[in-house]
């Protein structure tokens, strides 16, 4: 059992009905945040840094938004479903945009390919969680 799932199960309000989908989204968001931070760092180490400016900016913003999304989803007490849906839509859409940028560089830079894959997983996890009631 993952730490995320264990924490939900141990929560005084009990494990939420969203269980596995919520766990998957939290873990995908944190994974995408880490991959995006690492991608930005790797881009900054390249000789072609000027050409990678858009990628760097999107990476940093995506990392921040994914980290925030994961943190919001981890809080099970007094959930505002409308706010969470807004955050999920923003995260999903930002991951889509960032993945498209990463994919432009994926053939040349392996870290962009890896980050694109993380963005696509987060995008899908957010989409899977959106239709569910909070």
What local confidence, expressed as pLDDT, does residue 12 receive? 80
Percent of the chain with pLDDT over 90: 75
Region of residue 19 (phi > 0: left; psi between -120 and 50: alpha; otherwise: beta):
left
* CATH architecture under which domain 18-129 falls: Up-down Bundle (1.20)
* Dihedral of the alpha carbons of 112, 117, 123, 129, in degrees to the nearest 10: -150
Q: Residue 14: is its pLDDT beyond 80?
A: no
Q: What are the tokens at 60?
A: 């940093």
CB 50 within 8 A of CB 90: no
What local confidence, expressed as pLDDT, does residue 15 receive? 60
Give the span between the Cα atoms of 21 and 31, in whole angstroms. 15
Q: Mean per-residue pLDDT for 49-66?
A: 97
């Amino acid at each position: 059992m993952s730490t995320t799932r264990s924490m939900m199960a141990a929560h005084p309000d009990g494990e939420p009905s969203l269980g596995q989908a919520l766990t998957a989204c939290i873990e995908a968001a944190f994974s995408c945040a880490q991959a995006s931070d690492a991608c930005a760092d790797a881009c900054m180490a390249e000789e072609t840094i000027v050409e990678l400016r858009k990628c760097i900016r999107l990476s940093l913003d995506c990392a921040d938004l994914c980290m925030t999304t994961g943190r919001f989803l981890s809080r099970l007490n007094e959930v505002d479903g409308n706010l969470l849906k807004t955050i999920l839509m923003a995260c999903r859409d930002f991951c889509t945009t960032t993945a498209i940028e990463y994919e432009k560089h994926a053939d040349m830079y392996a870290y962009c390919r890896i980050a694109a894959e993380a963005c696509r997983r987060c995008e899908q996890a957010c989409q899977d969680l959106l239709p569910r009631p909070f």
